[in-house]
Chain A
Amino acid sequence: MKKDVLIYYDLITSLKTTQEVESFVSEIDTLMFEFYNTKGLLIHKALDSISFGTVGKIMQAFLKNNLDINNKDTFVSFFQTLKILIKKLKVIKLVLAFDPTRRTIERIHNFVKENIGIGYVLDIEVYHEVLGGAIVIFNGKYKDFTLKKNLEEVCRSRRNEILLNRI
């Protein structure tokens, strides 16, 4: 990863799902809108327009990389680059049978980070009919690792055996 991109590492890796990405982008848009509304004079007032958690993350990124948050040019270019990087995030779509907890999402995301790398977010869809396992859609590839499919396959291949046992 390029050095200038490294300053966004914490912010990018904190985004785990497409929902988070959407809400984060919308907060950046609100922040930039307020920033331009105050003609760049009241950066702190602009920061008040977004959630406390997001402000914390942004402040931390500025502090950690020794960036001056009051410098208008730095402020604008920081968010412009951030939005470009967010647009480049790749989506891994997962179809699950259950609504995953925050902890499960984090575990899946960490697995992706360790095995593929950063720059990926999860798009999770809950579809109870898959019964268990997951459907993974990534880069146009479709893989069905669900319990439903396995059961269907078993029923198809061992249909006679199952019917005989029933009798």
Chain B
Amino acid sequence: MKDFKYYLDLISEIGFVEEASNSIVYVSGLPRVKTNEIVIFETGITGIVMSFTSDIVEILVFSKDPISHGTRAVRTDEFLKVPVGTELLGKTVNPLGDPLTKMDSYRKPVATREINSLAAGILSRKTITKQFETGVPIVDLVMPLGFGQRQLVIGDRKTGKTNFLMQTILTQAKQKNICIYAAIGKKRLEIKDAESFLQKHAISDQVIIVATGFDDPIGLSFLVPFSAMTISEHFRDEGYDVLLILDDLTTHAKFYREISLLGKRFPGRNSYPGDMFYTHAKLLERAGNFITPKGEKSITCLPAVETVQGDLSGYIQTNVMSMTDGHLYFDSDLFAKGRRPAINPFLSVTRVGRQTQSNLKRDINRELLSFLTISEKMQNFSHFGAELTESSKITLEVGEKVIKFLDQGPLTTMPINLQILLFSLFWNNILRNKNIEPTGDEVNKMIETYRTNSSVQKMIDQFVMNTKTFNNMLGLMEKQGEQLLSELK
């Protein structure tokens, strides 16, 4: 982008700052200004046009530096564009593509893409058919997701949402898919933690972090999800499946509320502006499964939303729920009970994930979900202190073990075929009789063997692929389970 003088000579229009309040600046002049057009002030600060009347232009600036009355401004006849390209991989940038911390090796990409593009129409979309692996058994087996699905991750603060999102990034990055993590108004420490996580697992070259700190200008924080989505679209068009994580949209909504109130817009429910739903909907509808010149490619979007005391009926919460294809609810009660991840399968929904499953996976899903329902009911009954029958006691005991099986450490991910195999072994009483805990070091060792030993991996993958139903799988476990288990150890 050129400087103030260049655009002044080129466009021959000028404006003068009349009023400034925080990130919103009111400018007179600029007779042919357009909404979303970039404006440059003589001090070098940039901003975009939010709205205008015949007398005054409302500009959202991307700087915390004060702008004084009378400062000259010029329009650029350009719309906000985000630098896109492989140069961004492994980097932490702000929504305008500038590095968050000084990086000598970073070269800003030359190619740019418009930030406010329209979502693709129905003709360029395709039904979701491929299963999206998160590496977390409770999601992959009970609440499956598909490539191109928009799945809301919802729950109180400190219930392990970000941990789950990081596990998903880890799984996807290992499958060589591009992951984009949009951290909206996060603490610097949290951004640094995410960076360290990626570096520790050596996946940072597959991941881009688009972030703003909580002390950054609100204009920039507002742009984070849009910028991240634009970068996702670029990589989708380049032929990659992209995972986009928006962490989190409640904070984004708060920033937008601040901007709108400063802009003197009429406040609506909870003081959010009237176009709050529209703003998030136009963002999320840019994700999905698409037909591109390079084949069927997807943007799987996992927006996170925070609840207060488990209240799912809040304004932003219900808005985003209605825009997405399901939600994973992180229950603070389950978290307090020690469940990790604390996903409540009874309050979670996946609308398109099950259609991506093979018969075997669907069988396991049905079996597991119906068992969990029975076990939950039994547990509720057992609270009354009633004398339990032997079969009820067994159900409760197995229920506890299933829950333990579904529990997972924060830094581990389990490949889906291994999940199926271990669950089948477990269900077939093999793991149970041997009193092997389905979590902990034993399982970690098995995961490691699966990942490092390609012949074992190939064998298990073939085994799972060739098995059509869960009954068949259990039959095979009867015969070959012991052998498979010893191979894995």
Contact = CB atoms under 8 A, between A and B. Distances in A.
Chains A and B come from one and the same complex: yes
A140 B13 contact: yes
Interface string A123-160: 00000000000000101111110000100000000000
B30 to A, nearest CB: 5
B15 A140 contact: yes
A124 to B, nearest CB: 15
B168 interface: no
B8 A142 contact: yes
A140 B28 CA distance: 7
Contacts of B74: 142
Contacts of B13: 140-142
Interface string B267-283: 00000000000000000
A137 B14 contact: yes
B82 to A, nearest CB: 29
B9 A140 contact: no
Contacts of B9: 144, 149
B13 to A, nearest CB: 5
B12 A142 contact: yes
Nearest to B13: A140
B415 interface: no
B37 to A, nearest CB: 14
Interface residues of B, number: 12
Interface residues on A, range: under 10
Contacts of B28: 140
Contacts of A142: 8, 11-14, 74
A8 B430 CA distance: 102
Nearest to B75: A140
A157 to B, nearest CB: 14
A164 B30 CA distance: 42
Contacts of A139: 29, 31
A139 B30 CA distance: 8
A137 B16 CA distance: 11
Interface in B22-44: 28-31
Contacts of A141: 12-14, 31
A98 to B, nearest CB: 22
B31 A143 contact: no
Nearest to A143: B12
Nearest to B33: A140
Nearest to B57: A140
Contacts of B8: 142
A141 B16 CA distance: 11
A144 B7 CA distance: 13
Nearest to A152: B9
A139 B29 CA distance: 6
A149 B10 CA distance: 13
B40 to A, nearest CB: 13
Contacts of A143: 12
A87 B74 CA distance: 25
Nearest to A140: B29
Nearest to B31: A140
22 contacts: A137-B14, A139-B29, A139-B31, A140-B13, A140-B14, A140-B15, A140-B28, A140-B30, A140-B31, A141-B12, A141-B13, A141-B31, A142-B8, A142-B11, A142-B12, A142-B13, A142-B14, A142-B74, A143-B12, A144-B9, A144-B12, A149-B9
Cβ-closest 10 pairs across A and B: A140-B29, A142-B14, A140-B31, A142-B12, A140-B30, A140-B13, A137-B14, A142-B13, A142-B8, A140-B15
